Amino acid sequence: MEMQMQAVTTPQDSMGGGSREEGKRKTKWHGSVGGLVCAPREQVWTVVSQSSRLCDWMPMVENCTRLSGEEGVAGYVRLVSGFMFPQDDGDRSWIKERLLLMDPASFSYIYRMEASNVGLDGSVNSLQLIDYGDESTLVKWSFENDAVEGASEETFIDYLGFLYKSCINRIEGAGPSS
C-alpha cells in the first residue's frame, strides 16, 4: 500500500464560520493511498464518478442521498451514511459532502466534507485515476483534514488510509455500470 503523511501549518480557512483571530494558523493532516485496479480507466470512472454506485465500492456506506445540485457538477451536495467510523452510541456515521470539481477529461474529482458526526468537517479529498497500461488503472486518493483534537495524527492517517484502501480494493469487483 502506498501511503504518505505529513503535517503542515496553513492559514485557517475562513469559510468554516465563526470568529477567528486574523492570522491564526491551524495544523492540517495530509495523507494519500493508492491501489491498482485491473480494469481500464474508463470503466473504473463509470464506477467511482456516480453517487448511485457508491455503495458498490465503499463497503461501509449504506446510503447516499442527493441533497442539492446536479451530480457531476461543482456544488452538488450528497449525504453519505453508514458505519464509516464507530460511534459510542451505535448510531450510523453521516457525512455531508460537496463536490468542488469533477473533471472527466482528467478522470479526477475533489470534494469537501462540510458537516459530519465523525469529526471530518472541512476535510478535502481528491480521487484521481491514472492509466497504468495493460487494461489497469492506478487509483490515487488524497485527503487533507484539520488536526483532530485528542486524536493521534498517525492513527488518524492510518485509519483513513485503511478505509480508503478497502474501497479501492472493491472497485474492480463493482464492475461496469449497468
Give 27-65 pLDDT, tens digit per residue.
Answer: 999 999 999 999 999 999 999 999 999 999 998 899 999
Task: Reduce the DSSP state of residue 163 to 3 states and report it.
Answer: helix
Average pLDDT over every residue of 81-94 = 78
What average pLDDT is seen over the chain?
85
Cell 495523507 sits at which residue? 31
Question: Quick check: 69 pLDDT over 60?
Answer: yes
Give 15-29 pLDDT, tens digit per residue.
Answer: 344 444 444 578 999
Taking CA atoms, 144 is separated from 40, 59, 137, 148, in Å, by: 28, 22, 23, 12
Q: Where does residue 174 rank: exposed (0-12), middle (13-18), buried (19+ CB within 10 A)?
A: buried
H, E, C per residue of 29-98: EEEEEEEEECCCHHHHHHHHCCHHHHHHHCCCEEEEEEEECCCCCCCCEEEEEECCCCCCCCCCEEEEEE
Q: Confidence band (pLDDT; 50, 70, 90) for 86? A: low
Residue 24 grid cell: 491564526
| Structure confidence at residue 26 (pLDDT) | 81
Beta strand pairing call for 61-68 and 2-11: unpaired
Q: Say how far apart CA 7 and CA 29 lie, in whole Å.
A: 5
| Structure confidence at residue 176 (pLDDT) | 64
Which candidate, 66, 85, 87, places its Cα nearest to that of 77?
Answer: 66
| Structure confidence at residue 24 (pLDDT) | 59
- Can you list the domains of the chain with their CATH numbers? 30-174 (3.30.530.20)
The answer to pTM > 0.85 is no
Residue type present at position 21 = E
